[in-house]
Amino acid sequence: MVLTKKKLIYYGIILVITISLQRRWKTAEIPDHLLGHTARFHPEFISVELQKRLLKLIKETKVFPWDSDKSDIFFSRTYTDIGEDIPIGSDGTCSNPYLIPNQDKSKCILEPWFAYTRHFLLYGGLDGLKENFTFHFIIQVPGQTAPVHIDNPYFEDATMFQYPPWLLEVMAGSGLYQDTFIDQVQGVGYLHEWNKPKYGGQFAYFDKNTIVPTYEKPTPRSVMLIDGSKTIHASTIYKPKFRPPIMAKDAKNELVFSPTKEGDETWELRSNDKILRKYHTDDLRINAIYRARCFESEEKRKEFNKWYKTPGNGRPIEEILNELKEELVNKRDYDRKTLDSMPRFDLALVLVDEFVKYPWPTRSLFPYNYCALPDLYPWTEKYLKWICF
């Protein structure tokens, strides 16, 4: 890279801003009810035989869509949005970087995991990446990371089958619904064969109110046991020297196992059926995720299962929004009339900013992902093209 005079000026400006903001972003604001929960790392937890069986099952599954595709393919959600929807473009895409086509491609709505994908877009994850927006598979390709997030919370009267997952994150972060919160157990198991620390891809979780998480290495057959719905977690970049292809958020993005003969371990990363890159199984960071909900009795479990499997159950979404607005008025000094008159997209931004307090980047000199600014504010492209690639 050639350092021209213009680039030096831009780097100098960023350095000055970085120094002036250092004290702010080095402080975490994680709510107390999302801290101090049990997390346990168990090496060699999965047997070699079970590892082989699970890998075989993954290959038989063959196609792994990105999360936002998956969220609405397998079930129909009662409320897919809070009213922020806009007409889809004539080309079938959504111009707003936070919106994606809904299931029937009739309108644009907030990406289901908007709360943490927005955090990733703005700050670039644990490592403070300075690049465009990407999405993540449970199977990660080189150069990918997992955003700072909590897993889908479940409440006795609210789940991802009724409401957008990002709204459930807001509910969990607000602390208003702890009496109906359902505890979970998640096991994150590693099925890949490689065991090289230089590859990165460490599991990171925040059990203390600090921007520095606890790290665990993703060694083969190890398992991390955690309630990911109330402990903020992420991963570091897997094989950070590699850059994954950029996939459009409106596209059909898939990782597909594509052997041409017996013993072939080829995977294809596709976007709208176009092959972007090929990988070998040994190139991938592969997770098996186990999740279980915890109930105080068998009766409670049966009652919940009957409730959430019944179509149309759940409170009107306006009731939940009104409760969150009241909390903003009572605890955050917002004006109720302003909140009621606010466009729903803007209201979503306020809810996420106020109630979802994910830590800022741990390993970055400058926390903001300034290379994503052209997606949000196109006029900045002419200034950032000198330092973003």
SS3 294: coil
Rounded Cα distance, 356 and 359, in Å: 10
The DSSP code for 158 is B
Beta-carbon contacts of 104 under 8 Å, excluding residues fewer than 6 positions away, are none
Q: What is the pLDDT of residue 85?
A: 93
Q: CB-hemisphere CA count at 13 Å for 124? A: 21
Question: Using an 8 Å Cβ cutoff, are 232 and 34 in contact?
Answer: yes
The token pair at 137 is 């598979």
Q: What is the pLDDT of residue 74?
A: 43
- Specify the pTM: 0.83
What is the phi/psi pair of residue 275, to 5°? -75, 115
The pLDDT tens digits of the residues spanning 248-297 come to: 878 889 999 999 999 999 999 999 999 999 999 999 999 988 888 989 89
Six token digits for residue 149: 């997030």
Residues 269 and 277 sit within 8 Å (Cβ to Cβ): yes
Looking at 213-355, list the stretches that DSSP marks H as alpha helix, in order from N- to C-terminal side: 298-308, 317-332, 336-341, 344-355
Q: Which residues of the chain have pLDDT under 50?
A: 1, 69-74, 129-137
Residue 47, judged by CB atoms within 10 A of its CB (0-12, 13-18, 19+), counts as exposed
- The domain ranges of the chain are 5-384
Q: Are 42 and 222 in contact (CB under 8 A)?
A: yes
Which amino acid, residue 51?
A: Q
Rounded CA gap, 113 and 164, in Å?
Answer: 8
Give the containing element (helix H, strand E) for 26: none
What whole-number distance in Å separates Cα of residue 158 and Cα of residue 375?
33
Tally Cβ neighbours within 10 Å of residue 176.
17
**Which residue is it, tokens 């590699």?**
242
Distance between first and last Cα of the chain: 11
Q: Which pLDDT value is given to residue 117?
A: 77
